[in-house]
Structure 1
């Protein structure tokens, strides 16, 4: 069975994300009313300006506003971790290392109840599970207050988790993405080696060597690491690169964005699926 590494992005949860996985947009938008677009009533007050935040069951009423936010955040974090059914995600058959994000938003009403729950993700099963878990959040001990009046408060939680040990490997039911010139009929490992080899060849003939020579005038070679996902349509997405110079990383990303579509995407049991790709490459100039 797959194991899921949960990475919750909720306000002030500094210890939950590693630096590599943290998206600054996730943290910036937490509790931001703009995430609700047109679905929020006009009497909803932004979390950032209320004088007294909602009090979660078990949080002391004697805490100051900042500490109340931290307590609310920790309680929600714990609630989601304890109640999210990981078996739902395990049934989706995503490749190992896939990071799944569920954008969850809801309103803490004037009476402290959780209402107007929404969840956004490409996977309907996870969307339904996220909504189910949020519905289980107990009524707040006290709602949010602004100018001594109870107010409805919007709340946004991007939930992330990584599929670990999912076994996207040489199983007969799994097919690696097929680059042009590679044969689907060969073994899983041979097809994987062929596809990655062809991608490396593409990079070798497409990289701007004049730029590399300019960036590294005293060297004859340089290395960079690339990471991306080949999506269900056979196109590269979520491309990133690490290099000794930022310009070199940007060049690798530029080239990969123009990489031809795969002859066939990866698949599990005949169904197209996303496949993560990551490798270290050396070029000589």
Structure 2
């Protein structure tokens, strides 16, 4: 059974510290305030009041009522020479984060009482907090320093990051030894499987599961089963030297491989019933290119599905034929072979100059195994239409340009220019607004990059007032969500 499946796991996880039982904290926020003792009048607050533009705080917008988003904290670590590294700020505004970072970099660290300087700690300072509907400077009087739990085998770790990486390795080994091969076979899992388990390391070092979900109930039960008997930490997590609780949320990337060819074949067939290894297009590619030949060109970051895409001109001639392969050699080879296939055999029933047609050529399976199998009818994608005038576009690229140009014009036309200062004009203003088009045609702003709160709020206001687009994007005959990065310059 053990040689049937080879399981490789990669872990990426984020962490958050929670309550300390001996102090009887109600929640992690009370614990934080107990240690940080924030004050609007301490030396650190007076320093940041002099170094943060008030306008950045005046326009700070709260998007929800979650307490964790009601404060802005600065975190960092120390290297072996006690120099600051990994400096991060938690606000959603890039310009505000930049200002806070630059101010802290010129602040004399000697003015902060750090009881325990160690590369094993993660240091946290509150800089801002919510007061009513405003964000104010309210800095920590005392620094918080968190330390990761130490598990057996990780005692020699010399930094916070090394200790966390060591736990990754232990978890990888633990999952690899204990995951059920019967469940993997039953679920027909092959290749990548992404899980998102969550668990708690307690004040005593024990590991406790928390509520979470995977793609199926059986996988949830299995991961909880494995976490339940993960060994206790030799040293529990600590906050300011006292035992605390550490909440861990992971992204567990499993690579499932097998030596059983029947299992591989049946699993691949179950993934996508539209892909046929004996279709005319698949057999055409097999005549000109071998699966092993393709394997030599595949890169680790290649997508698992390699396809050919193209559009049509008004004379039904193929344009912009390309593949999504990362390497130029395989890209050119696939396009060259595809051009030799008779167009009339592609079964393109809907011939529209504004659509893009996709044919899967091969999939990259476990251990870079290549399977040539193609869809007999094209998968079709069409861009969003901002308004009916965009229907006059001559190509998918022209349609996309029309869509983005009209959104840009709407933003520039409705932007409140009184917000723009002379200093901003002198420095130049370039915003990148990430807009999502929903399946019902409504618009929502996902993010704004390289901006400060007043511009971000103005983009929010404009996007919310925009009417629905004339037509959302379509994929395989169904409306889908799409995102666009809209550059705005003044």
> What TM-score comes out, normalization by structure 1 length?
0.52
Contiguous gaps of at least 5 residues in structure 1? 1-5, 29-47, 90-101
Q: Is the contact between residue 151 and residue 235 of structure 2 (CA under 8 Å) also seen in structure 1?
A: no
Report whether the alignment pairs 1:157 with 2:249.
Answer: yes
* C-alpha distance after superposition, 1:208-227 (max 9, x if no partner): 234337665779x8543322
Determine which structure has the larger helix proportion and give its number.
2
Residue in 1 that maps onto 2:154? 59
Residue 125 of structure 1 aligns to a residue whose secondary structure is coil
Instruction: Decide which of 194, 203, 211 is 2:419's aligned counterpart.
Output: 211
Residue in 2 that maps onto 1:260? 467
Report whether the alignment pairs 1:238 with 2:329.
Answer: no
Inter-partner Cα distance in structure 1 for 2:217 and 2:456: 35
* C-alpha distance after superposition, 1:124-183 (max 9, x if no partner): 63998788667655722536669xxxx99552326599x996999844522323323333
Residues 208, 142 of structure 1: alpha-carbon distance in 2 compared, 3 angstrom cutoff: closer
* C-alpha distance after superposition, 1:34-78 (max 9, x if no partner): xxxxxxxxxxxxxx999x975434212x77xx96x6555223445
Report whether the alignment pairs 1:119 with 2:216.
Answer: no
Inter-partner Cα distance in structure 1 for 2:467 and 2:394: 21
Contiguous gaps of at least 5 residues in structure 2? 1-10, 17-74, 78-85, 93-121, 124-143, 177-189, 238-242, 254-300, 310-355, 359-378
Inter-partner Cα distance in structure 1 for 2:435 and 2:152: 42
Inter-partner Cα distance in structure 1 for 2:447 and 2:474: 20
Q: Is the contact between residue 107 and residue 154 of structure 1 (CA under 8 Å) also seen in structure 2?
A: yes
Inter-partner Cα distance in structure 2 for 1:132 and 1:74: 23
Residue in 1 that maps onto 2:486? 279
Inter-partner Cα distance in structure 1 for 2:204 and 2:424: 63
Residue 155 of structure 1 aligns to a residue whose secondary structure is strand
1:238 deviates by 1.4
Residue 119 of structure 1 aligns to a residue whose secondary structure is coil
Residue in 1 that maps onto 2:60? none
Instruction: Decide which of 9, 14, 19 is 1:9's aligned counterpart.
Output: 14
RMSD of aligned residue pairs (Cα, Å) = 5.5
Residue 256 of structure 1 aligns to a residue whose secondary structure is helix
Structure 1 residues 62-141: aligned runs within 5 Å? 70=161, 72-77=163-168, 87-88=192-193, 104-108=197-201, 114-119=207-212, 125=215, 136=226, 139-141=230-232
Q: Is the contact between residue 183 and residue 191 of structure 1 (CA under 8 Å) also seen in structure 2?
A: yes
Residues 281, 110 of structure 1: alpha-carbon distance in 2 compared, 3 angstrom cutoff: closer
Inter-partner Cα distance in structure 2 for 1:216 and 1:55: 49
Residue in 1 that maps onto 2:433? 226
Instruction: Decide which of 387, 397, 400 is 1:192's aligned counterpart.
Output: 400
Residues 266, 140 of structure 1: alpha-carbon distance in 2 compared, 3 angstrom cutoff: farther
Inter-partner Cα distance in structure 1 for 2:392 and 2:76: 45
> What TM-score comes out, normalization by structure 2 length?
0.34
Q: Which has more radius of gyration?
A: 2
